[in-house]
Amino acid sequence: MGKKSINNQHIMITGASGGLGEKIAYEVAKRGAIPILVARTEEKLHSIAEDIQRLYNITCYTYVLDISDLNQINIVIQQIIQDVGYIDVLINNAGFGVFEAVAETSMETISSMFQVNVLGLIACTKAVLPTMLKRNRGHIINVASQAGKLATPKSSGYAASKHAVLGFTNGLRMEVAKTNIVVTAINPGPIQTNFFTIADQSGTYEKSVGRFMLHPQYVAEKIVNVLGTSKREVNLPRWMGIGSTFYQLAPGLVEKIAGDALNKK
């Protein structure tokens, strides 16, 4: 389908209290959509919602939810549906990473990444999907990562979680292929957000790739541009997406040639 207006559409954004999620919230509001902001920090959510309402005169809904709490996800999303009627777009943006070698990281850390990045994303999708199927319309956008296509040293656990997101996204897309529901994967490279406060506590990686980092506003605009289209995947920046595609074709060659470049952490 071609690109359509998102005016008055209900757009649910997880991880919306800061970083990329916050930028997406402002961008959809600017284009006339109704943001539904979901995150753990109530104070930040309320501040963003008040700002959006002031700037764009648009109602902005907020719901406190820890995406790692699978028992609460369905409860909160059912409350959202009860309050607003339906969700046109789900943007699964919540996620985090920790850059540590496998030998040094704990199973608790790896489990936490999967709990939020994978299981939380799947649970949100499952909670929203029935009403989309009933209405035979909707758009699910999963923010994955270039790490989901090309793993690098010291990101094995994080990359594994994003590989899982892409696997889920691609399978779901085929399951709803005969409906009017669109499923899109967003695969950004490193973004200038507080993601690295947790992921890269040494600051080494952030310094080494600083010149390649994407601005969150740019990524937010690219994501919102996808709404109302049938785009299956967006790779940012484009050259990094080409690199990960080449890796899938010749992984051994890429690891041999670009080994030092991939080992920035």
CATH of the domain at 107: 3.40.50.720
Q: What is the pLDDT of residue 1?
A: 44
Geometric angle at alpha carbon 244, from 156 and 117, rounded to 5°: 45
Question: Is residue 3, in this structure, part of any structural domain at all?
Answer: no
Question: Is residue 257, in this structure, part of any structural domain at all?
Answer: yes
Burial 46-72 (b: 16+ CB within 10 A, else e): eebbeebeeebebebbbbbbbbbeeee
Question: Is residue 167, in this structure, part of any structural domain at all?
Answer: yes
Tokens (6 digits) for 182: 């669109």
- Phi, psi (rounded to 5 degrees) for 123: -65, -40
Question: Is residue 52, in this structure, part of any structural domain at all?
Answer: yes
Question: Is residue 84, in this structure, part of any structural domain at all?
Answer: yes
Question: Is residue 5, in this structure, part of any structural domain at all?
Answer: no
- Whether residue 205 lies in the annotated active site: no
Domain of residue 134, residue span: 10-262
pLDDT tens for the chain, residues 1 to 265: 456 789 999 999 999 999 999 999 999 999 999 999 999 999 999 999 999 999 999 999 999 999 999 999 999 999 999 999 999 999 999 999 998 999 999 999 999 999 999 999 999 999 999 999 999 999 999 999 999 998 888 899 999 999 999 999 999 999 999 999 999 999 998 888 666 555 556 566 555 555 678 999 999 999 999 999 999 999 998 766 676 776 777 777 766 666 555 566 5
Q: What is the pLDDT of residue 51?
A: 98
**Cβ atoms of residues 264 and 203 within 8 Å:** no
Q: What is the pLDDT of residue 205?
A: 52
Number of structural domains in the chain? 1
**Cβ atoms of residues 77 and 128 within 8 Å:** yes
Which of 56, 61, 63, 158 is catalytic? The answer is: 158
CA distance to 57, 98, 215, 223, per residue, from 110 (Å): 42, 8, 27, 27
**Cβ atoms of residues 230 and 182 within 8 Å:** yes
The amino acid at residue 91 is I
Report the predicted TM-score, pTM, of the whole model to 2 decimal places: 0.88
Question: Is residue 155, in this structure, part of any structural domain at all?
Answer: yes
CA distance to 135, 201, 229, 230, per residue, from 180 (Å): 9, 43, 11, 9
For residue 229, give every residue at least 6 positions away whose Cβ sits within 8 Å of its Cβ, in sequence order, or none: 1, 2, 3, 4, 182
Tokens (6 digits) for 252: 């051994």
Question: Is residue 2, in this structure, part of any structural domain at all?
Answer: no
Q: What is the pLDDT of residue 14?
A: 98
Q: Compute how many other C-beta atoms are within 10 angstroms of the C-beta atom of residue 119.
A: 17
